[in-house]
């Protein structure tokens, strides 16, 4: 009986040790910051930076096509007995928060991928390890097409310390009632995918219009075309060029 007990105990110890090694390997692969695309729910799409930490929390920031503003993400993650990554999260956004759980989520040396399920629908997650942010700082011009009209705007893109991929936007435009001011943000990954939003303030009695858009910069980083919508539901196309 003593021999049998010892053998069983040894097997249990080996299984526990192997599980600990597997979990440690998963931790080593996942922990870090990832340039990510969140596709869904529905036709929504977000560009985000997600950071998974050793304390089994994760957080992120970005902009979604339907959010009409910034998105922040907070959640928990873990590894189950089958070495599957599990987790929960909440996206905090102006158009309504989204909460869900991770499923079929895997991490490689340079890639994460999987799905998340929320009450609003499924979200596909894909990302790559943090790389060099494209250099977009400086002056830009924008040719804006919406509701059959064309207008012109000027922007300044500015980096934000300790926030990879995020650029604050300030600028001006000319409309029917004269010059108006613009503020917003853009988030872009190393493969030049980007999401952004702009808010324009009109008149002495301030009326604000908000646009949300997504697109991709050319390899030269000198031009980009963005497509999106206004807060009143009209489609918009912005052709941006560096000055």
Q: How far apart are CA 193 and CA 45, in angstroms?
A: 11
Are residues 104 and 63 part of one domain?
A: yes
With b meaning 16 or more CB within 10 Å and e meaning fewer, what string describes 83-100? eebebebebebbeeebeb
Alpha carbons 198 and 165: distance in angstroms, whole number: 17
Q: Are residues 232 and 143 both part of a single domain? A: yes
Residues 56 and 81 grouped into a single domain:
yes
Find residue 221's DSSP bridge partners: none
Per-residue pLDDT of the chain (243 residues; tens, 9 = 90+): 333 322 333 333 323 333 333 444 556 789 999 999 999 999 999 999 999 999 999 999 999 999 999 999 999 999 988 888 999 999 999 889 999 999 889 999 899 999 999 989 999 999 999 999 899 999 999 999 998 889 899 999 999 999 999 999 999 998 777 788 999 999 999 999 999 999 988 655 566 789 999 999 999 999 999 999 999 999 999 999 999
175 and 208 inside one domain: yes
Residue 158 covered by a domain: yes
> Does a structural domain hold residue 186?
yes
Q: Does the residue 66 lie in any domain?
A: yes
Q: Tens digits of per-residue pLDDT, 190-207?
A: 999 999 999 988 655 566
What's the pLDDT at 134?
A: 93
CATH code of the domain covering residue 211: 2.40.128.120
Q: Tell me the three state secondary structure of residue 4.
A: helix
Task: Based on the fold, state whether residues 40 and 98 are members of the same structural domain.
Answer: yes
Q: Which domain holds residue 237?
A: 138-242
- pTM for the model stands at 0.86
Q: Are residues 102 and 160 in the same domain?
A: no
Question: Residue 4: its pLDDT value, please?
Answer: 32
- What is the DSSP annotation of 158-188? EE-TT-TTEEEEEEEEEETTEEEEEEEEEEE
Q: Are residues 106 and 177 in the same domain?
A: no
| Per-position b or e across 30-40, b if 16+ CB within 10 A of its CB | bbebbbbbbbb
Same domain as 115, residue 40: yes
Residue 25 is assigned to a structural domain of this protein: no
Let me know if residue 198 belongs to a domain: yes
In a domain, 170, yes or no: yes
- pLDDT value, residue 83: 85
Indicate the residue among 111, 129, 147 that finishes a domain: 129
Instruction: Indicate the number of domains in the chain.
Output: 2
According to the model, what pLDDT value does residue 102 have? 94
Write down the pLDDT at residue 202: 67
Query: Do residues 233 and 145 share a domain?
Result: yes
How far is 208 from 183, CA to CA, in rounded Å?
11
Task: State both tokens at 138.
Answer: 């400086």
| Same domain for 146 and 74 | no
Bridge partners for 148 per DSSP: none
Determine, yes or no, domain membership for 1: no
Inter-residue contact 243 to 139 (CB < 8 Å): yes
Q: For the segment 103-113, what is each residue's pLDDT rounded down to a tens digit?
A: 889 999 899 99
Structure token digits, residue 172: 């001006």
Rg of the chain on CA atoms, in Å: 22
Burial 153-170 (b: 16+ CB within 10 A, else e): bebbbeeeeeebbbbebe
Tell whether omega for the bond before 41 is within 30 degrees of 0, i.e. cis. yes
Per the domain annotation, does 21 fall within a domain?
Answer: no
């Amino acid at each position: 009986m003593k021999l049998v007990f010892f053998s069983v105990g040894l097997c249990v110890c080996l299984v526990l040790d192997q599980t600990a090694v597997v979990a440690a390997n998963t931790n080593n692969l996942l922990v870090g910051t990832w340039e990510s695309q969140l596709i869904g729910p529905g036709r929504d799409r977000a560009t985000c930076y997600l950071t998974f930490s050793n304390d089994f929390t994760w957080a992120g920031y970005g902009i979604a096509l339907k959010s009409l503003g910034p998105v922040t993400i907070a959640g928990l993650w873990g590894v189950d007995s089958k070495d599957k990554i599990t987790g929960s999260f909440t996206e905090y956004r102006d158009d309504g928060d989204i909460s869900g759980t991770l499923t079929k989520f895997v991490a490689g040396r340079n890639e994460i991928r999987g799905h998340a399920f929320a009450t609003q629908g499924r979200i596909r997650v894909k990302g790559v390890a943090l790389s060099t942010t494209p250099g977009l700082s400086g002056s830009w011009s924008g040719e804006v097409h919406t509701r059959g009209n064309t207008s012109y705007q000027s922007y300044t893109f500015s980096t934000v310390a300790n926030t990879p991929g995020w650029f604050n936007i300030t600028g001006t435009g000319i409309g029917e009632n004269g010059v108006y001011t613009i503020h917003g943000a853009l988030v872009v990954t190393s493969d030049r995918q980007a999401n952004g939003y702009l808010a324009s303030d009109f008149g002495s009695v301030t009326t604000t219009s908000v646009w949300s858009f997504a697109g991709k910069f050319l390899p030269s980083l000198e031009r980009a075309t963005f497509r999106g919508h206004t807060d009143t539901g009209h489609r918009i196309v912005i052709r941006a060029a560096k000055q």
